[in-house]
Structure 1
Amino acid sequence: MLAFAPIDGAAGVASTVVTSIASFAEPFAGTAATAIAIILFTMGVRLLVSPLTWAQIRGQRRTAALAPRLRELQAKHKNDPAALQAEMLKMYREERASPLGGCLPALLQIPFFTVMYRLFTTPTLSGEHNALLDERFFGTALGAHVNEGGPALFAVLLAMLTVLAWWSSRRMALVQAANPTPADAPPGQAQIMRMMRFLPYGTVLFALVVPLAAVLYLVTTTTWTAVERLLLGADRHLLSAAAPASAGEPGRG
């Protein structure tokens, strides 16, 4: 229990914020005030961590832009791993990039989402009842699961998550197609990459076992991610960076 104490404390603060937003929204939202507060709070947190997301995308862009040079180095030093490693480190240092450039910002976002998961899925926080889950949305308690009522509401939300998962999976497939797995890649890497396309559908499966409040959070945050990537053109850059390789290396003078 001690391990959850800091998370519960942060979730308690988040609960107070959501409750305040709900109180403000209640005059015009009625019984849907808490659900709307969850959506607004999720959007606010995503806006707060947006600089980390942008840093993650910038890191991915730098790495993608270096992909053609990386392939050249791999071909040049395919029989000399030590030389390849040295040249890669030199290239990343000169370009002020990192092969893990997109990972650190993503890791820094984890505490925020851990707190939100705790807030929207746990019946008790710091030993006290989580009253947010008692509120209702279209007649269904925010603490209810998919098998406990509100079939039409859950059906709509799950359909939205499925569409978002399909879009994310298709985006991932296009990026992978533009960045094919090298022929000399470790055995099984291509299969692993193909399997990763199905990971977005894990959100849909997750929504089947969490309360309605968490499903609202999942729909909001995945929608935010999709819109954010479209507005920032993150995947378009990854595809265009790989275009020379997919068009054929001989065309490079």
Structure 2
Amino acid sequence: MITSTSNPKVKRLVNLKKRRKARDDEGVFLAEGIRMFREVPTDLLLEVYVTEGFYKKEKELTDILCRQAKIRQEVLSDTVFAYVSDTKTPQGVMCVVRQRNKTAKKWERLIEKEQQKPFFLVLDNLQDPGNMGTVIRTAEAAGVTGILMSADCVDVYNPKTIRSTMGSVYRMPLWYAEDICEAVRELKRQGIHTYAAHLEGTVVYDEAEYREGTAFLIGNEGNGLRQEVAELADTWVRIPMAGQVESLNAAIAAAVLMFEAGRQRR
């Protein structure tokens, strides 16, 4: 059992928790909590850290997953686990998980697989980790094919983002595009109709047609879509507001649009 916060393994975990560069340099991220542990693909599972109490309670699950991944779990004292945890009430289990390829180099292949009616989300400069995680989780629930993100979006492997995905990060295809405008142009070249969520939209969101190839463009929480991105969209759509509300939270707006598309496609 590791009982000191000065242990090199503990220092590395803290570094991975706090620093995006450390995560990217190793090509890993931290997934904390029982649900994230249960759902982690064993081919991506690299390390498991548990408290003694968690291991006694979940010994069968822990042993099965570690055996399938061909790794051994490391036991941390409660004090040390609380030190490396990113939550106020740690659940006693943390995994080091391999990142999937996050570049946009191969995302075109997914368009080919979904030739009939691909369904994409394009995120421009989204900055809040909780929003990002919520969008990823909602996208899976709404049947989205994949999510394209501008290079300046928040890190999808931020611990808060990972928690907010509730496991969807393991399953939803994600890519960072070095040039988000070129990525949108490529979607259009593939026959995918692009819809910008915009306050100046001339079409109400539930009056548009989303049954064929569709991509929703969602902008920054405070400033919306950058003009150069918005101008590439085939259609600007808006969500009507009652009262004095001007706009919705980015994740909520994305959810409204995605589930309308999902409704039309059922």
TM-score (norm 1): 0.21
Q: Greater share of strand residues, 1 or 2?
A: 2
User: Greater Rg, structure 1 or structure 2?
Assistant: 1
Q: Greater share of helix residues, 1 or 2?
A: 1
Higher relative contact order (CA 8 A, sep 6+): 1
